Chains A and B, each alone.
Chain A
Amino acid sequence: MPARRFIVTVVADRCKECGICIALCPKNVLEKGNKLNWKGFHYTVPARPEQCIGCRLCEYNCPDFAIFVVEAEAAKGETVWARQA
């Protein structure tokens, strides 16, 4: 069976840098970014999406609706912004 692939998306302007997703991710996909969002938080970045196994612990435990995971053809880490000027 070929390995499943996932797109991990962080909604940068909702992330509050709580670190829960990073701590829970079993595959070390996520890390604290070095850029700030408009609220002054270092938003999480999906640094190693190719390691993601789609367990969704990050999505289910994020208090801020700021990260989610979808199955896809190719693995990808995305940072998006909900609010656009």
Chain B
Amino acid sequence: MGEASLGFLNANQAAAEGAITAGLKFFAGYPITPASDLFEYLAKKLPKYGGVVVQSEDEIAAINAIIGASWAGAKAMTATSGPGFSLMAESIGFAAMTETPIVIIQNMRAGPSTGVATATGQGEVMQSRWVSHGHYGIVVLTPFSSQEAYDLTIKAFNIAERLRVPVVVLMDYVLVHTRERVVLKKPPEVEVLERKKPTKPPGEYRPYEPDPEDLVPPMANYGEGYAVLVESMAHDERGYYAPVDDVYERLVKRLVDKIEVNRHMVVESATYHTDDAEVLFVAFGSVARSVMSVVKEARMEGKKYGLFRPISLWPMDEKGLRKAAENAEQVIVVEMNYGQLVREVERIVRDKPVHLVPLLKLDLPTPEEIVEAARRWL
């Protein structure tokens, strides 16, 4: 116990290993590039850990199956890419509304629509937050290496289980095709959390009655005698449909606020030479790797560049970003879309010029390409 081992894994394999470490017991998926590898990896491996892997008829079935599995007591996950994620939209809201712990690995490829299945992209910054209709809370984490794919998948399960929320791990085509060294930690080296269980007997337990400190209701599983009602309609604490102003308002606010209240569990970012940075780059995922090279080379030439990398994309480390931007004269957001993350950065860093470097390329941009695209602000 407690030992670690080394793996040489791509982000798909690393995320699968992270899920197994976190205690994954049910996976449903539908094949799609670039998420099928993860699915196939788990199909071989998870049964050895007593888990079930099943291929559903489409992504809508996959997401609903993992929601059902979660209520039946399993830690549950699916993996997909843009087209499949879009199909899951309605039921991601269902998971949020019913406060069901689930993890979704979303490997971004170039969109829109079928786009380019074998090319990378970052078109789902906004979609990952607002994929479903209505207002609700959701957590999105974005690894930039295989190691982080491993670590953040474990973290994703911890957040999902503890806060009863859907958590998206937003990876990309480049990450899942890059094999690198991963330290596979096991508990107690790594923390694995479980959902809170009811403390009240079946007659008194209410599946949507939050604990006052963390706003998260304990969760009874199916088969434990609680007669829990998983209700997709607006509901009171018992799960009874309640089209009533104050009940509705309290519910929706809590779905959002419980993530705010537990921000410390979620929010994470990384900085690189930001202390004295005059030019602050902001980038996430595989693109941040290229931007890191830009900063490194610039530093060697004595230029004061820095990088802020959100690890939790939703919610973002706003304080950390503001601090990183303190000395910056320019903030440059590099992303592989036509301007999404930049809107958040503009909102957070109000007093600095924020520039967008949109890179609509099919391969990971090289550091030279990034410098070239950002030239006029450097």
Instruction: State if A and B touch, Cβ cutoff 8 Å.
Output: no
- A contact set with B: CB distance below 8 Å: none
